[in-house]
Amino acid sequence: MQEKVAQLLKKNQMSVTASRTKILELFLASQGALAHADIERLTNGFDRVTIYRTLQTFVDKGLVHTIPTADNSVRYALCKDECSQGHHHDDHVHFMCDDCGNTYCLDHIHVPAVHLPQGFVVKQTDVVVSGICSNCTLR
């Protein structure tokens, strides 16, 4: 496992360090998205600045993407393989559960094409849905 994580870092052109390894492991083990605070809680000892910089590096390298949330908090989730340095292709719907607070990437739900009036050029469409997730309805 550690080795797989190291390979993944190298594949994305990052040197293998303790914080990157640990934080990437957290993403691989997590079902949903992670916020800076989650990572600070789940690790012990890494400086918060290091966590900020690690997350930014992961975004830059195309390993994770940020998720726009209705409450303007910043969350991060693993990208699919198609993403790479400077080219993100995370065109899926995001879901935020009002009950458990988790945020999920609905990878197989593609964002619908929205048709805008004459003159508007669409570059990116973000869809964030909130409600109750499937875990929470089952209880």
Partner DNA sequence: CTGGCTTTGCAACCAAGTTGCAAAGGTTTT
Partner DNA sequence: AAAACCTTTGCAACTTGGTTGCAAAGCCAG
Q: Sign of dihedral through CA atoms 13, 34, 28, 123?
A: negative
The answer to whether 97 contacts DNA (rule: CB under 7 A) is no
Shortest distance, CB of residue 116 to DNA, whole angstroms?
27
Site for a second copy in 48-77 (CB under 8 A): 68-70, 72-74
Site for Mn ion in 52-91 (CB under 5 A): 77, 90
Give the C-alpha separation, 27 to 20, whole Å. Answer: 11
Query: Tell me, what DSSP letter sits at residue 31?
Result: S
Give the C-alpha separation, 69 to 81, whole Å. Answer: 23
The answer to whether 1 contacts a second copy (rule: CB under 8 A) is no
Contact pick of 12, 20, 58, 64 for DNA (by CB under 7 A): 20
The answer to whether 31 contacts a second copy (rule: CB under 8 A) is no
The answer to whether 135 contacts DNA (rule: CB under 7 A) is no
Give the C-alpha separation, 124 to 131, whole Å. Answer: 23
Give the C-alpha separation, 72 to 41, whole Å. Answer: 20
Contact pick of 2, 7, 31, 56 for DNA (by CB under 7 A): 56
What are the two backbone dihedrals, phi and then psi, of residue 5, each rounded to the nearest 5 degrees? Answer: -65, -40
Binding mask 41-80 for Zn ion (x = CB under 5 A): ----------------------------------------
Give the H/E segment covering residue 66.
Answer: strand 64-67
Q: Site residues (CB under 7 A) for DNA? A: 10, 14-20, 36-37, 45-50, 52-54, 56-57, 74
